[in-house]
Amino acid sequence: MYPSPQPQQPQRLFRPADDRVLAGVCSGLARYVGLDANVVRIAWVVFTLLGGSGGLAYLIGWLLMPDANGRRASTPLVLLILLFAVPAMCALILLPFRLIFN
């Protein structure tokens, strides 16, 4: 008789500590979808340069993705990002449109 297949553990989306450049968002996303981390990083840079949405998505990923121990970003970091980084990223996203259409 054949052995019954073992149920696979569900993939966990987290920011690893061993393969991070800034906060580990690209590396964690690459592990989750099964890609090389450098491919995800290059795509992230392209999205950032083509309108700024990559930077805002990285910040949101940093806030929402837990690290390898299951901890999320600390409250002061979340407040700093919400107060300064999100408005700055929105301004960067709108900058090309202002330059072109004004």
Query: What pLDDT does 15 receive?
Result: 83
Q: Would you say residue 8 has pLDDT above 80?
A: no
Listed in sequence order, the residues at least 6 apart from 29 whose beta carbon sits closer than 8 Å to its beta carbon are 13, 40, 61
pTM, 2 dp: 0.63
Segment 36-76, tens digit of pLDDT: 999 999 988 888 887 767 777 888 888 888 888 877 777 67
Report whether 60 contacts 23 (CB < 8 A): no
